[in-house]
Amino acid sequence: MVIKYFKLIGSLVLFCNNLLYLKAQKGDSTVIQITNIGNSINSIYPEYAPVISADGALLIYTTKRPGEGKKKQKEILEQIWLSEFNSNLNTWGFPNPLPKNINNPKRNISNIALSNDGHKLLLYVDELTGTGDISESVLKGTLWSDPIKLPAPINSPSHESSATYSPDGKTIYFVSDRSGGKGGRDIWSCTQDKTGNWGKAINLGTKINSIEDEESLFMHPDGKTLYFSSKRKGGIGGYDIYKAELIKNKWSVPINLGKPINTDGDDLFFVMVANGKTAYYSSNQKGTLGEKDIFKITFSSINKKKEIGPRLTIIKGTVFDEKTNQALEADIELIDNEKNDVIAKFKSNSATGKYLISLPSGKNYGITVASNGYLFHSENINLPDSAAFQEIIKNIKLKKLEIGSTIVLNNIFFESNKSTLKNESETELKRLFQLLIDNSAINIEISGHTDNLGSSAYNQKLSEARAKTVVDYLTAKGINSQRMTFKGYGLEQPIATNDNEFGRQLNRRTEFKIIGK
């Protein structure tokens, strides 16, 4: 460790620079660099519990800084602060406290988890009674909602101190000292059903929980890697950070992250950016500005050819009106196309239109974006198990429900060189059916399009047959056939190049157009 001391405006500011560790793994090496995040975030007071959005653009953390005003506080209570990453300067921006409906001066409150998109925040709330619970606040436009206590069986008469979201938001992992555990403080999980009700609290078992205390959870956006701190035997210090993986619905034996991440002090609140290259945690190790500081951990591989990283895709962007460019709040559904099952539901932010979704590899995903008064927008992202990490920026323009508006139905699939619908098309077809039910005055055209492989006559016939199949499906469901027409355009209207397979795939499509009201 190389430690350098600087004096800034009369205060001692410390940075832990150039702390490197080489770890050999079958001829490969990982370089781990740990750096004090600096005095823009840390102070002479305790800072801890960092949580981040999946893309690493938003940081929320807890501090115990004195409040403003002349009166001295008998006890400095916890407050939650927020900072946004400045990619141009490659540093965190000046932080600000969250509003008073979150930072109530009459209670201790700490952030404990942030959803991948940064729109939902889990909080530990203690009304100064010593028995805290888990609450949730939601970002609505630019305002965070009042914290609402999560229901039983997540909260109980016992003490619930830490939690984390699964990527789909349907499972919450949490720490509790309730009866039925394996030790002092154990990790439990609770899953929401399709009606929104929470199921039974399940203890994660003796592989994960020890006879000592577990604390500070983080589920990686890949949906299978759980990081947590534990006082179990065999550790390096007080609380050490461990990693376990969920493989075929069974947890692996937790692995201690080892030195230099774990120290002889307490190392807690480990969180990682989706790309697996950057993490943050709080520690009271030597070299802090205050009692506890937030540190940045950077992982890099010496052998870039063997670098794999997490197997997931982040898709993010903004949703806005195609003509006015106004940001829109939209309902976003994530679908498992093979099972025709809605995996998760999200919303874009009403003030900014921003959204972010984490897609663990191994599924054929359909994504549908819908807002009142607009045609829905669909995307298809097919990720095999081997798909490596990628981040996709996708800004989505929604079109008004008006004559002339056209959308591509990206999740309607046909058998190769046939007009037979695949089962994976069911969810998209149902959504199209519902759109016609909800808007009974519109008349539509369903059109089929192909790439340029094969003759014009063949492609014309195939595209028309496919369009007719969609109309036949809707007619069988009860839509008046007089409201619909179908047409095949063959290879006449490409939207991409036909010089490569990616472009040809885009050209093989089914479209929906409003032709009358």
Question: Read out DSSP for 162-175?
Answer: EEEE-TTSSEEEEE
| Cβ pair 393, 317 in contact under 8 A | yes
Would you say the C-alpha torsion 460, 464, 467, 473 has a positive or negative sign? negative
- Are 440 and 504 part of one and the same domain? yes
Enumerate residues 6+ apart whose C-beta is below 8 A from 384. 361, 362
- Are 267 and 380 part of one and the same domain? no
- Are 221 and 293 part of one and the same domain? yes
**Domains of the chain: total:** 3
Final residue before a domain boundary, out of 267, 285, 306: 306
- Structural domain range at position 449: 404-517
- Are 292 and 334 part of one and the same domain? no
Domain assignment of residue 170, yes or no: no
325: CATH: 2.60.40.2190
- Are 409 and 396 part of one and the same domain? no
- Are 359 and 341 part of one and the same domain? yes
- Are 416 and 511 part of one and the same domain? yes
- Read off the DSSP letter of residue 95: P
- Are 410 and 393 part of one and the same domain? no
Domain assignment of residue 186, yes or no: no
| Cβ pair 208, 187 in contact under 8 A | yes
422: CATH: 3.30.1330.60
Compute the half-sphere exposure of residue 373: CA atoms within 13 Å on the CB side of its CA: 5
Q: What is the pLDDT of residue 65?
A: 83
| Cβ pair 486, 422 in contact under 8 A | no
- Are 390 and 425 part of one and the same domain? no
| Cβ pair 346, 319 in contact under 8 A | no
Q: What is the pLDDT of residue 322?
A: 97
Q: What is the pLDDT of residue 13?
A: 33
Domain assignment of residue 168, yes or no: no
- Are 475 and 347 part of one and the same domain? no
Would you say the C-alpha torsion 441, 445, 446, 449 has a positive or negative sign? negative
Residue 373 has which token pair?
């008064």
Q: What is the pLDDT of residue 14?
A: 33
Calculate the alpha carbon distances from 196 to 169, 193, 199 in Å. 11, 5, 9
- Are 378 and 268 part of one and the same domain? no
Domain assignment of residue 58, yes or no: yes
Tokens 């950016």 -> residue: 273
Residue of 243, 242, 237 whose CA lies nearest to 284: 237
- Alpha-carbon span 237 to 496, nearest angstrom: 58
Dump the DSSP string for 11-53.
Answer: EEEEEEE-EEEEEEETTEEEEEEEEE--TTT--SS-EEEEEE-
First to last CA, the chain: 71
Domain assignment of residue 185, yes or no: no
Domain assignment of residue 51, yes or no: yes
Residue of 214, 217, 208 whose CA lies nearest to 238: 214
Domain assignment of residue 173, yes or no: no
- Alpha-carbon span 290 to 62, nearest angstrom: 13
Q: What is the pLDDT of residue 384?
A: 95
- SS3 of residue 458 by DSSP: helix
Residue of 159, 160, 163 whose CA lies nearest to 172: 163
- Alpha-carbon span 8 to 431, nearest angstrom: 59
Q: What is the pLDDT of residue 289?
A: 85
Final residue before a domain boundary, out of 383, 400, 417: 400
Final residue before a domain boundary, out of 337, 367, 400: 400
Residue of 14, 8, 90 whose CA lies nearest to 295: 14
Residue of 202, 127, 135, 193 whose CA lies nearest to 162: 135
- Alpha-carbon span 61 to 82, nearest angstrom: 7
Q: What is the pLDDT of residue 28?
A: 47
Tens-digit pLDDT string for the chain (517 aa): 323 222 232 233 333 333 444 443 344 478 899 999 988 899 999 999 999 999 999 999 999 987 654 344 555 788 999 999 998 988 999 999 999 999 988 888 999 999 999 999 999 998 766 678 999 999 999 999 999 999 999 999 999 999 999 999 999 999 999 999 988 899 999 999 988 899 999 999 999 999 999 999 999 999 999 999 999 999 998 999 999 999 999 999 999 999 999 999 899 999 999 999 999 999 988 778 888 999 999 998 877 666 667 999 999 999 999 999 999 999 999 999 999 999 999 999 999 999 999 999 999 999 999 999 999 999 999 999 999 999 999 999 999 999 999 999 999 999 999 999 999 999 999 999 999 999 999 999 999 999 999 999 999 999 999 999 999 999 999 999 999 999 999 999 999 999 999 999 999 999 999 999 8
Calculate the alpha carbon distances from 144 to 50, 120, 140, 331, 434 in Å. 18, 9, 6, 19, 33
Beta strands 293-301; 278-283: pairing state: antiparallel
pTM score: 0.90
- Are 75 and 211 part of one and the same domain? yes
Domain assignment of residue 470, yes or no: yes
Q: What is the pLDDT of residue 75?
A: 58
- SS3 per residue for 307-358: CCCCCEEEEEEEEEECCCCCECCCEEEEEECCCCEEEEEEECCCCCCEEEEE
